[in-house]
Structure 1
Amino acid sequence: MDERTGEPHVGVTPNLFGIAYGLAGLAGCWGYAAMLRLAPELVSDLLCLVAAAVWLTLLISYAVQVPRRPGGWTAELTHPVLGPFVALIPIVGMLLAIGLMRHEQSAGRWLFGVFAAATVVLAGWMTGQWIAGGLDLERLHPGYVLPAVAGGLVATIGAALAGWQGLARVCFGLGLVSWLVIESAIQARLYFRPPLPPQLRPTLAIGVAPPALAGLAYLAMTRGKVDAVSLGLAGYTLLAAVVQVRLVGVYRHLRFNSGFWAYAFPYAAVATFALHWIAYAHPPGHRIWAWVVILAITLFVGALAAKTTTALARHRFLPQLN
């Protein structure tokens, strides 16, 4: 609270790292398209640079602000709503390191290793905190998959691309088993308790990310192998995508805020996974279908960026802190 005006401060909260997360996801989609020789690699590189700039700006501001808040870092990590989003800091770091690997293999691998270790430590600490401190079922939301599930699966992709196959399998187990465990609790809350409050409803989009990420992680780990596992993950991703179509009616009544960036990375992950299946199935006009996917996710994230710029100009984007 501002002592002079009596009004709440605005500041950086961990969910804002979803902006860099979404931009890095879009960069990964363009990078995958470049690997399939569908698009120029330059676009992915530029998006990585933008994501890195946003991430670094948020990180500096956040690191400066947190020690001045009541409870400091402990309060941030244990917050029942925003706490899981702190894991986005090292997760985005891993995604940026993966992008760097394409040009500087040794530097990218070194940075990836640092951020992967930080992700695992943070995920373990948070999981232990949830056990020791307990969870409020009413505040449980899909963002709780971020520390161990998204962290483990992104680490799988990075480790596989770095050539660390053993580590990739370890991280895949971490992410996959964590997904099975936490997903059951989240779904029980969504099915049997009252709907999430409006400010948390954008997190429903996060639910489509784990199966798509698991599919991408498996493909990276097996060097593109199509088998019962990859097909099964594609099937669950399809179901999750159809669920998102049904939830459009829920989303359309929400007022735009920083939480809307929860849509960006999950949809980018689905788009990247879809590119793989278009390349594999090779349907008639496959290049056209691929470009439809690429342009659709790019326009979507671009619209989020445009809305964010407008909201920032009107001082209506950054969350208020009591």
Structure 2
Amino acid sequence: MSTRTSEPHVGITPNLFGIAYGLTGLAGCWGYAALLQLTPAVMTDILCASAAVVWLTLVVSYVVQVPRRPGGWPAELADPVLGPFVSLIPIVGMLLAIGLMRHDRAAGQWLFGVFATVTIGLAGQWILGGLDLDRLHHGYVLPTVAGGFIATVGAALAGWPGTARVCFGLGLVSWLVLEPMILARRYFRPPPPPPLQPTLAIGVGPPALAGLAYLAITHGKVDAVTFGFAGYTLLAALVQLRLIGLYRHLHFSPGSWAFAFPYAAVATFALHWIAYAHPPGYRIWAWVVILAITAFVAVLAIETTAALTRHRFLPQLR
């Protein structure tokens, strides 16, 4: 009697939503540049539309596949490596809803409220504990820290100041709790395996997102707190420079998109400071930032297209 072994097949894993996440981050950067009257608003709409197409395509495929996998949704959400990336589905939904508010405020508010609620629900997934320190990575900041700060920006833009402050508290406290554990894992444990090393780039995102969220709830007020977030962002960016040697040896994979959104958040935060300081030639400095992050994401998109063409991008699952 012969036994049948399952053949490997192309699968959709939650970290693939990092593609749409990165595109919405770039859209946000262009969107703020448009507010400064530096760029045309249509570029933001194009990037949001591209992110929406990618997001919807992945959502449909992912939702169909997960129930067929061993353990179904409970196992998917509890996975210590990929589980936190499931939160990217509603987080990208929030970002797309924020973009929609510019065209249809009521529809954007309604969708934002739905996705923000789902994001906060997923943030509670890891509060019960049971985490393995050796498997802890920067992706764990997505449902709590990134989700909280992005919800802050969205709620502020939706005209819900109380909700925005609550979400800011969620993101800030989660960051203060998770950051020491993640740093301890980095200092006192072996480095993460190569597939998880791109998640180190996520570490530059929280201080920039915290600064953007604080500016959103204070209506652009620049004070000591804002300077504090700027200083932490600068430190995190310097750490990323020290990691270039490690990043150079990584092979391109879906995990490479982990760089896109955090770097886009830093670029957007930098545009805020350029607008505030208004240095000589500030338009040139702003365009340098915009073009640099756009070129970086474009390279990721080109590499992704090439890898898809060679059938070497999507993971093979059993």
Mapped to 2, the partners of 1:162 and 1:135 lie a distance apart of 35
Match of 2:163 in 1: 167
Q: Any gaps of 5 or more consecutive residues in structure 1?
A: none
Match of 2:24 in 1: 24
Mapped to 2, the partners of 1:244 and 1:9 lie a distance apart of 35
How many residues align structurally? 316
2:5 aligned with 1:9, yes or no? no
Equivalent position amino acid for 1:176 in 2: L
Over aligned residues, Cα RMSD in angstroms?
Answer: 1.1
Mapped to 1, the partners of 2:7 and 2:39 lie a distance apart of 48
Q: TM-score normalized by structure 2?
A: 0.98
Match of 2:194 in 1: 198
SS at match of 1:37: coil
Match of 2:67 in 1: 67
- 1:53-132 equivalence runs, <5 A: 53-128=53-128, 131=129
Deviation at 1:243, TM superposition (A): 0.6
For the Cα contact (< 8 Å) 1:126–1:147, is it kept in 2?
Answer: no
Equivalent position amino acid for 2:38 in 1: L
Q: 2:176 aligns with which of 169, 173, 180?
A: 180
Identity percentage over the alignment? Answer: 76
For the Cα contact (< 8 Å) 1:208–1:266, is it kept in 2?
Answer: yes
Deviation at 1:8, TM superposition (A): 2.2
Deviation at 1:319, TM superposition (A): 1.3
- 1:232-311 equivalence runs, <5 A: 232-311=228-307
Match of 1:207 in 2: 203
Residue-by-residue CA offset, 1:44-95 (whole Å, 9 max, x unaligned): 0110000001000000000000000000001110001000000000000000
Deviation at 1:10, TM superposition (A): 1.9
Equivalent position amino acid for 1:84 in 2: P
Q: TM-score normalized by structure 1?
A: 0.96
Mapped to 2, the partners of 1:165 and 1:9 lie a distance apart of 47
Deviation at 1:125, TM superposition (A): 2.7
Residue-by-residue CA offset, 1:13-51 (whole Å, 9 max, x unaligned): 000000000000000000000011111110001100000
SS at match of 2:127: helix
Deviation at 1:137, TM superposition (A): 1.4
Mapped to 2, the partners of 1:163 and 1:66 lie a distance apart of 36
Q: 1:229 aligns with which of 215, 225, 245?
A: 225
Q: Any gaps of 5 or more consecutive residues in structure 2?
A: none
Mapped to 1, the partners of 2:145 and 2:108 lie a distance apart of 22
Mapped to 1, the partners of 2:232 and 2:150 lie a distance apart of 18
Deviation at 1:7, TM superposition (A): 4.4
Equivalent position amino acid for 1:14 in 2: P
Deviation at 1:127, TM superposition (A): 2.5
For the Cα contact (< 8 Å) 1:77–1:126, is it kept in 2?
Answer: no
